Amino acid sequence: MSRRGWILFTSLALLWGTPYLFIRVAVEYVEPSVLVGLRVALAGLLLLPIALSRKELRPALKYWRWIVVFAFVEIAIPFLMLGYAEQRLSSSVTALVIAGVPILAAILARALGLDPNLRGMRIVGLAVGITGVATLVGLDVQGTQYFGVAAALITVTGYALGPIIITLRLSGAPSLGVITIALLINSVVYAPFVWLQWPSQPVAASAWWSIVALGVLCTAIAFVLLFALIAEVGPARTTVITFINPAVAVLLGVVILSEPITLGILVGFPLVILGSYLATRPDKNPAASIEDAPHA
């Protein structure tokens, strides 16, 4: 990998490991719908001039029906559910549940016939990863926190389906145009909820700065870096970020939010990461695998 590739890779890994921290801080003061609405609006407005300058909006509009589907499956529902999850779970536990995205993506790809070569060690990887998530939930989650796990699993489902929609329906559309339009669609969808659920109590500056960081750093800039990284090193190497993000999230949760390193994290974390790696190892036949990007 070139020096530029390493810089892009490291920057993106750090950026997509931090949203869990910022979301956890923000949802202490604002409703998840307000958080999502402001996040997507900031990101969409920042990406709009870039997409216009690259002339990627008009070609993308030809795919508007599937962009709408993508906007809800990849952003509207997962972002909202992630906020609800972090109202009940620590950022560390949430990040490790979300780390199961590659596992579900592999299962869905096999079910849809997009990856017929799911066998051998990759099936072992699925079993290991699922065991890791189950261990994490069984040891660290109790009572009403299960609603948080359910919300996080909805996010996992959306993040796993998003790349499949791109593969099947949006592969011919310019990526930046698709993301920009999807973010702007969500800005319009969430605008009424932002208005109706705007906080009536004072909001800490840390929450506002967290929302700004989510929109500017973790969404707009992160997507620009993602496209640059894919162009530099290819989609296969880019997916390795999926295995680094949870480690960054756990570290930030422990150091900044003083979240405990629990038995569930100690046991479940390595199992989830190992399972995700084994389940998504590239096949000898490149056409048989789906390259899915990391999320947050």
Residue-wise pLDDT tens digits, 11-34? 888 898 899 999 999 999 999 999
Torsion of CA 173, 175, 180, 183, to 10 degrees: 100
Please report, for the chain, how many H helices and E strands are present, in that order: 16, 0
pLDDT recorded at residue 107: 84
Among 99, 266, 63, 96, CA closest to 172: 63
- The whole-model pTM stands at 0.87
pLDDT recorded at residue 1: 63
Among 115, 85, 109, 80, CA closest to 98: 85
pLDDT recorded at residue 100: 83
What would the two tokens of residue 63 be? 């795919």
Q: How far apart are CA 229 and CA 251, in angstroms?
A: 24
Q: How far apart are CA 267 and CA 126, in angstroms?
A: 16
CB 88 within 8 A of CB 144: yes
Q: How far apart are CA 223 and CA 47, in angstroms?
A: 9
Residue stretches of the chain with pLDDT short of 70: 1, 118, 233-243, 280-296
Q: How far apart are CA 96 and CA 100, in angstroms?
A: 7
Count of Cβ atoms closer than 10 Å to residue 49 Cβ: 10
Burial label, 272 (beta-carbon count in 10 A; 0-12, 13-18, 19+)? buried
- Say what angle helices 145-169 and 77-86 make with each other, to 10 degrees: 160
Distances (CA, A) of 168 to 13, 56, 276: 26, 19, 22
Distances (CA, A) of 217 to 7, 203, 212, 222, 243: 16, 21, 8, 6, 20
- So where are the chain's domains? 3-288
pLDDT recorded at residue 238: 59
Q: How far apart are CA 192 and CA 27, in angstroms?
A: 18
CB 211 within 8 A of CB 21: no
